[in-house]
Every structure is written in C-alpha cells, then in structure tokens.
Amino acid sequence: MRIASVGTAFPAHRYPQTVITEALKERMQDKLASPGVMDRLHSNCGVDFRHIMFPLDTLGSLSGFGEHNDLWIKGALELGQEAIHKALDRVGLTPSDISAIFFTSVTGIACPSIDARLVNLMGFPKDIKRTPIFGLGCVAGAAGIARAADYVRAFPKQYALLLSVELCSLTWQADDVSMANLVACGLFGDGAAAVVIAGEETKLAQKPTSIEDPCPRVLATRSTFYADTEHLMGWNIDHSGFNIVLSADVPELVSTELRGTVEGFLDDQNLSMGQICSYIFHSGGPKVLKAMESSLGLPPNALAASWKSLSQRGNLSSASVLTVMQDFLQNRPGSPGCYSMIGAMGPAFCSELLLIQW
C-alpha cells in the first residue's frame, strides 16, 4: 500500500490571528470578565494565520446548531471537491478510478453523508464502497489513512481515497467563556485534505519511487486506546451545537504515554527509534508538540513541518496531519529506503501510528 498523493483546500477567508482575536473579543465582550485573558491565550497558541468558513464581519450572524450545520454541509462539499480534485490530478486519476472512499469529520453531521453527496456530484463509481467516520477527532487523519491502507491490502489492484473536512470555526460558542472554549477559539481553523492510497498492484505502486516523485509504502499501523481517559477531549452536544471538552491534562498524557507506544510499535517491526528519519505528526498545539518532542527525545526542528502547519493554519483537527504529510511529499521527502512515522492522538484518548518507507 502506498500514499500516492495529498490534496488540500481551504476557505477563501484567511486572517491574522490578532484580527480573529479582536473579532471574537467584540462578539463576547459583555461575557468576558477580562478580555485580556483571550489576548494572552490566543498569543500562546502558536498560530499566526487561520482560514475560516465565513467572513469575520458575519461572525455571530448565525444562530443555533441547524444554521451552523447547514453551512458545514455546504463548505464540506465545496472544499471536499477541491481537495479531491487536487489529490487525483497530481497522480493522473479521476473519481472513476476510486473503489473506496473514507470520509472523516468531527465538526458537522449529515445524512446522507458528505461522501454520498460527493459520489453524486463527482462521478465516483456507482459500486464505490463508502465509510463515513465521525467521532475520532484529531486522530482521524492518521486513522483514516490506516483504514484506507487496510482496504487496499485486501484489494491490491484498487485505489482508496480518504477525505477529511474540518470546519472548526463553526463550533465556536459565543456564550461559552470557559477556558477550554477560549483556547479552542484561538487554536482551531478550517480546511480539508484528501489522500489517495494505492494498492500494491496498481500502476502508481508499481512505478519507481524517488525523492522527486515520492510514493511511500505503508508498512504497518498501530491503534492504541488509553483506558479511562474519555474525559480529556471531545464534545458536549446540545441545541447550540458542539461544545468543546478540552482538558489541560492532554499534554501530560502525551508525555507519559507516547514514547512507550512508539517503542512498542517499532519493536514489533524489529526497528528502533534511531532508524526513523522523520516524524509526520498532527499539529495539536504548542504544548502537545512540545510534549511529543520531549517524550520522544527529538532533536531541534524534528517537527518543523508540524509547527509550520500550526502557525499558518491552526489546528485543523483530523486534517492537520494530512497537511503535514503533503508538506513532506512536496518539500521534505525521505531518501529512498528510509523510514518515517505518521502519528496523531485524539478523543478516547487514543493514538494512531503508521510506519512508512520512502
């Protein structure tokens, strides 16, 4: 199984972090005991710019879960089509070449699901196999690649597609002045990413791979569930929509658990951390990235691509690790034969790791 390409798409509305913060302060000023707290929190998020689905001057014009979710469906279809076209065009494929599509998001819901609507809009085969995924949150980008790889392992002559669309700004809650919501309003952004996974007997998997035209092989995957940690991250859902659950203990869990998880995974592959040339990790936020660096004892700049994605787009939930993967494919590929690890963590609490070889 090979990761053949990644395509990304973002809303047209892109703002500096300071501009978004001021707009949010104006919207919430009568509820904030100290507006300066939001300035401090947002300046510490490691985010310089973010894309959001709507213009800032319309912030607060929507009311209730229904209106926000309708905009999520509209945005998911727009960005989803763009990301898919980019991913397919890069490798000379069309929707008719795809046998299975995996769709993930944790910022909206739809029935029929977004993948079903895209089948109608984009000309995917009528016998395409669809797997919509909800609830995995930030871990779903890595988990989605793993599940798509599982599929083409069983069907090596076929291509699978993963699509992630996260419109996090549509979950910001104007009436929630909890620390968790204030941090989320400063950390999360909007975007989409699509990944083409090629079975070993497809033409893309058969061509020689190189630094100029990388197509890394997925060698192994590992899902890990950390028991009794569901309180750390997720949603409380009510009439207003998705209300963030985000514990300050997440970085501590990363610090405590990640190294053992990584070492155990690699040991099962008869490898060690010293044999990993790069880490392609989800941009969870400054404290999470620092916890990853510290736990794994990584050298300076080992997670530079993750920090860059955070700075330029914010945390895109499941789409973040896919944008980091795109950066590696286009700008930072490993030399042929070397190993990299893709990783993300999210609600449950859980982690997903993939071992790839360039």
The answer to whether the beta carbons of residues 52 and 12 sit under 8 Å apart is no
Residue 119 in 3-state DSSP?
A: helix
Structure tokens at 278: 């790069």
Q: How many CB atoms lie within 10 A of CB 5?
A: 25
Catalytic residue of the set 45, 111, 138, 350: 138
Is the CB of residue 340 less than 8 Å from the CB of residue 328? yes
Helix, strand or coil for residue 310? helix
Residue 12 DSSP class: S
The yes-or-no answer on residue 111 being catalytic is: no
> Any idea what the Cα angle at residue 243 is, between residues 242 and 245, rounded to 5°?
125
CA distance 236 to 241: 8
CA distance 310 to 89: 26
Rounded to whole angstroms, the Cα distance separating 294 from 303 reads 11
Q: Which residues are catalytic?
A: 138
